[in-house]
């Protein structure tokens, strides 16, 4: 829209209307973000935990989970190391609460992206375990 031939009050009104439009778009964006937050958070246990049954895990994850419950053996030297939760995808706890274990990935030459992260004080059975297949980007709580 051109402002040629408009009075100063008409130009001022258009300026205010543009500002209100920007504000309305920002508010709608926030409302949409809140409305769709559960869909986004569904990939993470923060706020809205998504769970997975042990029987629904890949066979390699089921085997790793059984090893965790039995206290080993573990095929990778890094299994059982402290998981720092730097991505803050899991509920907050003191450092040392979470420990990670590798889930074998078929045809992978390295540890791959799949892990089970358990919380608690080893060697006691874990209080809670989470599965990730995307290298800590999302987690699902393992339900026995």
Q: What's 68's domain CATH number?
A: 3.10.450.30
Report whether 79 contacts 127 (CB < 8 A): no
Residue numbers annotated as active site: 100, 135
Q: Are residues 60 and 33 in the same domain?
A: no
CA distance 9 to 13: 6
Residues 36 and 4 in one domain: yes
Q: How many helices (H) and strands (E) does the chain have?
A: 2, 6
User: Are 9 and 60 within one domain?
Assistant: no
Same domain flag for 25 and 60: no
Please give the residue range of the domain that contains residue 122.
51-143
Name the pTM for this structure.
Answer: 0.66
Q: What's phi and psi for 52, nearest 5 deg?
A: -140, 135
Question: Do 129 and 71 sit in the same domain of this protein?
Answer: yes
Task: Indicate the number of domains in the chain.
Answer: 2
Mind listing the pLDDT tens digit of every residue in the chain (144 residues)? 555 666 766 666 666 556 655 554 554 444 444 444 443 333 444 554 589 999 999 999 999 999 999 999 999 999 999 999 998 999 999 999 999 999 999 888 899 999 999 999 877 899 999 999 999 999 999 998
Contact status, residue 142 vs residue 130, Cβ threshold 8 Å: yes
């Amino acid at each position: 829209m051109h402002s040629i031939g408009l009075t100063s009050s008409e130009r001022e009104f258009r300026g205010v209307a543009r500002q209100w439009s920007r504000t309305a778009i920002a508010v709608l964006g926030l409302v949409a973000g809140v409305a769709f937050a559960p869909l986004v958070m569904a990939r993470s246990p923060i706020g809205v935990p998504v769970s997975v049954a042990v029987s629904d895990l890949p066979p390699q994850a089921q085997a790793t989970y059984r090893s965790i419950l039995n206290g080993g053996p573990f095929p990778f030297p890094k299994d059982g190391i402290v998981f720092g939760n730097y991505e803050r995808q899991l509920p907050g706890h003191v450092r040392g609460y979470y420990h990670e274990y590798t889930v074998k990935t078929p045809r992978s030459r390295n540890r791959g992206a799949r892990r089970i992260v358990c919380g608690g004080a080893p060697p006691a059975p874990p209080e809670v375990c989470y599965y990730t297949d995307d290298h800590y980007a999302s987690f699902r709580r393992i339900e026995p």
